[in-house]
């Protein structure tokens, strides 16, 4: 059964008529509904596909149709397809009925849509701004509208963000940030504690907002690759890959196998250096500095390997639409082989050091638990989800080139710091194996690295299971192949909320540890 | 309880092993660079040069490289340079990112909290003029529009060696 029939059957079973279904690609399906049916169809798909909202966004189509379009996407693992539900929202006083009360994982996206487009989600009780801080941004300016003109000055009405407050005897608040003690991105964390345990944590982000989605508008794909590589620098390759996937899907021809295999290799190198970094970070945050320093050496050695292979320590400038720029020849292949042998040995030694330390295990075990149900409700993805018993890994859900590799997806169940640590340990080993396998496969591939592409209009969703989790990029190319809309979804966007649940009941001094075990991106969230 | 911990540590032996840094050896010029850097730091700052770092909207690539300067290979601390937790302890402010509007006030406040004499160093292409984020509705278009900048370390991101070399060249002036 193809995805079209599969979804049609689900909709028919609930007697939802009058919908228009189109399937532009084998892994993308669009269900167009009226505003009245939007919530119903979303709820139905949410339950039947057992999928959280994977992304949700709006698009300003007023110049073409006089209205905005709102999309909500789910993932059907069974049909191997993204399922978009779409409705038109009037151009004047735009609003739609919120779905967040039935599907919590849509809540943050609705807030985002409200602030970036001025489209009100009716009935969503929390529409505070996420990125355009009230203190600096005047009301009534919606950057992602096509007729947006930036405000002349700053907000002058003295508006301030309203934090959720917990009140009661003996409860005190600890505000931290945006500037922190370490060398790290800016975020504001507001703890409410009663005695030692945290009873509420509110995380206010948006401090690194740079207006990426707007910047991408009007760019061609080569310019856009440069920008997306700089959304979250530690995921430069994951981002360029997701973006290229999206545009390549639109343009049609399959890219050469060699390029596909090389992309696996680079993506796994990115996972490897970041996971090694996090293993060290977790050790550092329990005060175990020897393994932490050891891990920083492992990371450095992988960054040097990256530079040796591609000229960039962070794997920038490799992906282009149509393939890759940097080949790996026999000589480089030997270099990787040799480096990996040492890296593998070091990572095993690092793990051993940590697992055999009672005090380390004591600190990470049962600390910062994110329960499976909470993770499902929030729409948590990636490493954090796999540590809480949700097995989704896009490399398995959409195997494409990964289908010819043998590897396993990680899965832990307890949702604590130890589980997130174990997921990383497991994935580093799988990555090493995947890199070895890709080197073998390169031997059998033709030499072609890229194909020429011609600009074309259209829309498509690209994705990559980057090291934190799935990076999704939905793009609309308009005349001359220029970007009209590019929606970026970073796994951090909702995983930050997972962190705020995971710390509940823990003591504030364990916060850095919980935080590091998620290791989320500020700039990826803030865009 | 404590006897168990003791037993366990005896059984396990030493956990800190000698690490073989082969394959990631330092460039030969590093020691010379370091000695010069140390001399400059001693002469100009009376033995230690303290830096406070602020991210005003970087992609975190630059942070990664600054942190790498302190890893056991480069170990910039041994030359008298340290990254400190409070602006009150800092001689210089090291700023990354194009200054998102949300960070403008925090950046100014951090600068104000520093004792005199003080100066500002920008690091990374987007910290100067906004780089790739230039023209965005939400950035201040670089640190120079918010604070006086004395030194810029270019790169996207500059690698640890570039950071160390640029600092040295500046301190020797
Ligand atoms: S200079 Fe480059 S690497 Fe550094 S923060 Fe800016 S975009 Fe990221």
Q: Is the CATH number of domain A3-122 3.30.460.80?
A: yes
What are the phi and psi torsion angles at A52 (to 5°)? -75, 170
Q: Domain count for chain B, please give it.
A: 1
- Residue boundaries of the structural domains of chain A: 3-122, 257-315+335-460+492-521
- Decide whether any atom of ligand 1 lies within 6 Å of the A230 Cβ: yes
B97 with A325: CB under 8 angstroms? no
Query: What pLDDT does B35 receive?
Result: 86
Number of neighbours of residue B35 by Cβ within 10 angstroms: 11
In angstroms, the Cα distances linking B119 to A9, A328, A351, B53 are: 67, 44, 42, 12
Reported as a pLDDT band with limits 50, 70 and 90, residue A235 is very high
Contacts of B16 in chain A (CB under 8 A): 290
Nearest CB to A209; choose among B12, B15, B138: B138
Question: Is A312 an interface residue toward B (CB < 8 Å)?
Answer: no
Tens-place pLDDT, residues A497-511: 999 999 999 999 999
Q: Which domain holds residue B166?
A: 28-172
Query: How large is the C-alpha radius of gyration of chain B?
Result: 19
Region of A94 (left: φ > 0; alpha: ψ -120 to 50; beta: rest) is beta
Query: What pLDDT does A6 receive?
Result: 79
Tens-place pLDDT, residues B55-65: 999 999 999 99
Question: Closest Cα to residue A84, out of A33, A14, A12?
Answer: A33
Tokens standing for residue A113: 């849509």
Q: Among B57, B58, B95, name the best residue to mutate to test ligand 1's pocket (greatest count of ligand atoms within 8 A of Cβ).
A: B58
Flag whether B94 is in a domain. yes
Read off the pLDDT of each residue in B140-145 and give the average, rounded to a whole number: 92
Tokens standing for residue A227: 């920008």
Read off the pLDDT of each residue in B14-42 and give the average, rounded to a whole number: 76
Query: What pLDDT does B16 receive?
Result: 63
Q: Which residue has the least CA distance to atom 8 on ligand 1?
A: B59
Nearest CB to A185; choose among B55, B83, B136: B55
For the ranges A156-160, A306-310, A435-439, B101-105, the lowest mean pLDDT is seen at: A156-160
A98 with A72: CB under 8 angstroms? no
Q: Is the dihedral of CA A328, A262, A465, A487 positive or negative?
A: positive
- Decide whether any atom of ligand 1 lies within 6 Å of the B110 Cβ: no
Question: Closest Cα to residue A448, out of A245, A319, A256?
Answer: A256
Reported as a pLDDT band with limits 50, 70 and 90, residue A159 is confident
- Decide whether any atom of ligand 1 lies within 6 Å of the B167 Cβ: no
Cβ <8 Å between B103 and A150: no
Query: What pLDDT does A46 receive?
Result: 93
CA distance B124 to B119: 17
CA distance A419 to A130: 30
Helix/strand/coil for B20 = coil
Cβ <8 Å between A179 and B12: no
Adjacent-strand bridge partners of A323 = A320, A450
Question: Closest Cα to residue B163, out of B15, B11, B33?
Answer: B33
Region of B108 (left: φ > 0; alpha: ψ -120 to 50; beta: rest) is alpha
DSSP character at residue A450 = B
A205 with A177: CB under 8 angstroms? no
Read off the pLDDT of each residue in A317-340 and give the average, rounded to a whole number: 91
Read off the pLDDT of each residue in B39-60 and give the average, rounded to a whole number: 90
A239 with A463: CB under 8 angstroms? no
Exposure string for B111-134, b = 16+ CB within 10 A, e = fewer: beebeeebbbbbbbbbbbbbbbbe
% helix / strand / coil in chain A, to the nearest 5?
A: 45, 20, 35
Tokens standing for residue B81: 């340079």
Tens-place pLDDT, residues A8-23: 777 777 777 667 888 8
- Distance from the CA of A267 to the center of ligand 1, in angstroms? 20
Q: What percent of chain A has pLDDT over 70?
A: 99
Tokens standing for residue A145: 């509208």
Read off the pLDDT of each residue in A205-217 and give the average, rounded to a whole number: 95
Length of chain B: 173
**Residue B1 in this model has a pLDDT that exceeds 90:** no
Residues contacting residue A287 through CB under 8 Å, at least 6 positions apart: none
Dmax over CA atoms of chain B, in Å, equals 64
Dmax over CA atoms of chain A, in Å, equals 71
Q: Is the dihedral of CA B45, B49, B52, B57 positive or negative?
A: positive
Computed over every residue of chain B, the mean pLDDT equals 88
Tens-place pLDDT, residues B102-119: 999 999 999 999 998 999
Cβ <8 Å between B61 and A339: no
Contacts of A236 in chain B (CB under 8 A): 61
Question: Closest Cα to residue A206, out of A275, A143, A158, A121?
Answer: A143
Cβ <8 Å between B105 and A182: no
Q: Which residue has the least CA distance to atom 1 on ligand 1?
A: B124
Tens-place pLDDT, residues A347-374: 999 999 999 888 899 999 999 999 999 9
Computed over every residue of chain A, the mean pLDDT equals 91
Cβ <8 Å between B68 and A303: yes
Q: Is the dihedral of CA A442, A446, A447, A453 positive or negative?
A: negative
CA distance A196 to B103: 31
Nearest CB to B137; choose among A150, A181, A207: A150
- A227: distance to nearest CA of chain B, Å? 7
Number of neighbours of residue A188 by Cβ within 10 angstroms: 20
- In CATH terms, A257-315+335-460+492-521 corresponds, of 3.40.50.720, 3.40.50.920, 1.10.645.10, 1.10.730.10, to 1.10.645.10
Angle, helices A511-518/A417-443, rounded to nearest 10 degrees: 20
CATH of residue B121's domain is 3.40.50.12280
Tens-place pLDDT, residues A452-487: 888 788 999 999 999 999 999 999 999 888 999 999
**The whole model's pTM is what?**
0.93
Read off the pLDDT of each residue in A35-60 and give the average, rounded to a whole number: 91
Query: What pLDDT does B23 receive?
Result: 62
Specify the pairing of strand A171-176 against strand A188-194.
Answer: antiparallel
Read off the pLDDT of each residue in A266-291 and give the average, rounded to a whole number: 94
> Three-state SS across A299-323?
HHHHHHHHHHHHCCCCCCCCEECCE
Question: Closest Cα to residue A81, out of A398, A473, A491?
Answer: A398
Query: What pLDDT does B40 receive?
Result: 85
Flag whether B19 is in a domain. no
Number of neighbours of residue A104 by Cβ within 10 angstroms: 18
């Amino acid at each position: 059964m193809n995805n079209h029939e599969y979804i049609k059957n689900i909709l028919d079973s609930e007697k939802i008529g009058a919908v228009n279904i189109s399937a532009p690609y084998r892994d993308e399906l669009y269900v167009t509904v009226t505003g009245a049916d939007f919530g119903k169809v979303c709820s139905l798909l949410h339950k039947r596909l057992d999928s959280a909202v994977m992304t949700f966004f709006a698009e300003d189509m007023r110049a073409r149709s006089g209205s905005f379009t709102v999309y909500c996407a789910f993932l059907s693992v069974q049909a191997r397809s993204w399922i978009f539900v779409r409705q038109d929202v009037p151009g004047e006083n735009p609003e739609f009925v919120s779905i967040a009360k039935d599907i919590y994982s849509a809540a943050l996206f609705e807030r985002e849509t409200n602030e970036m487009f001025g489209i009100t989600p009716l009935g969503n009780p929390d529409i505070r701004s996420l990125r355009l801080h009230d203190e600096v941004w005047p009301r009534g300016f919606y950057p992602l509208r096509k007729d947006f003109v930036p405000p002349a000055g700053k907000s002058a009405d003295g508006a301030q963000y309203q934090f959720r407050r917990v009140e009661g005897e003996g409860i005190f608040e600890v505000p931290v940030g945006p500037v922190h003690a370490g060398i790290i991105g800016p975020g504001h964390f507001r703890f409410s504690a009663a005695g030692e345990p945290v009873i509420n944590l509110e995380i206010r982000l948006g401090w690194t907002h740079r207006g990426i989605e707007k910047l991408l508008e009007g760019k061609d794909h080569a310019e856009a690759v440069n920008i997306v590589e700089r959304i979250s620098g530690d995921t430069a390759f994951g981002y360029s890959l997701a973006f290229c996937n999206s545009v390549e899907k639109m343009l049609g021809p399959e890219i050469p196998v060699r390029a596909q295999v090389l992309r696996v290799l680079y993506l796994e190198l990115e996972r490897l250096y970041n996971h090694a970094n996090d293993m060290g970070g977790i050790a550092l945050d329990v005060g175990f500095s020897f393994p932490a320093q050891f891990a920083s050496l492992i990371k450095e050695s992988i960054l040097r390997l990256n530079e040796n292979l591609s000229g960039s320590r962070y794997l920038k400038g490799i992906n282009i639409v149509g393939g890759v720029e940097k080949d790996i020849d026999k000589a480089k292949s030997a270099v990787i082989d040799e480096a990996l042998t040492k890296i593998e040995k070091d990572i095993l030694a690092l793990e051993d050091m940590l697992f055999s330390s009672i005090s380390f295990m004591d600190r990470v075990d049962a600390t910062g638990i994110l329960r499976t149900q909470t993770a499902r409700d929030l729409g948590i993805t990636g490493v954090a989800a796999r540590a809480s018993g949700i097995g989704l890994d896009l490399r398995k859900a959409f195997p494409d080139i990964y289908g010819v590799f043998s590897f396993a997806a990680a899965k832990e169940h307890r949702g604590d710091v130890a589980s997130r640590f174990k997921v990383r340990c497991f994935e580093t080993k799988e990555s090493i194996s995947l890199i070895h396998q890709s080197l073998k496969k390169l031997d059998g591939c033709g030499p072609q690295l890229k194909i020429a592409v011609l600009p074309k209009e259209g829309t498509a969703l690209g994705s990559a299971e980057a090291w934190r989790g799935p990076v999704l990029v939905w793009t609309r190319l308009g005349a001359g192949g220029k970007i009209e809309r590019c929606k970026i979804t970073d796994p951090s966007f909702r995983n930050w909320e997972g962190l705020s649940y995971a710390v509940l009941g823990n003591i504030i001094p364990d916060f850095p540890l919980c935080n590091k075990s998620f290791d989320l991106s500020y700039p990826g969230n803030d865009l | 309880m404590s006897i168990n911990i003791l037993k366990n540590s005896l059984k396990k032996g030493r956990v800190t092993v000698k690490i073989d840094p082969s394959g990631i050896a330092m460039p030969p010029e590093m020691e010379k660079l370091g000695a010069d850097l140390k001399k400059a730091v001693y002469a100009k700052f009376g033995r230690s040069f303290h830096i406070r770092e602020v991210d005003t909207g970087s992609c975190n690539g630059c942070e990664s490289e600054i942190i790498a300067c302190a890893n056991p290979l480069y170990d910039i601390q041994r030359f008298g340079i340290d990254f400190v937790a409070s602006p009150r302890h800092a001689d210089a402010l090291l700023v990354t990112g194009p200054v998102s509007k949300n960070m403008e006030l925090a950046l100014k406040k951090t600068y104000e909290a520093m004792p005199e004499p003080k100066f500002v160093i920008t690091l990374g292409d987007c910290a100067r003029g906004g780089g790739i984020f230039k023209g965005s509705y939400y950035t201040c278009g670089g640190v120079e529009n918010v604070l006086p900048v004395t030194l810029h370390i270019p790169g996207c991101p500059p690698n640890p060696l570039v950071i160390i070399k640029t600092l040295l060249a500046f301190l020797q002036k």
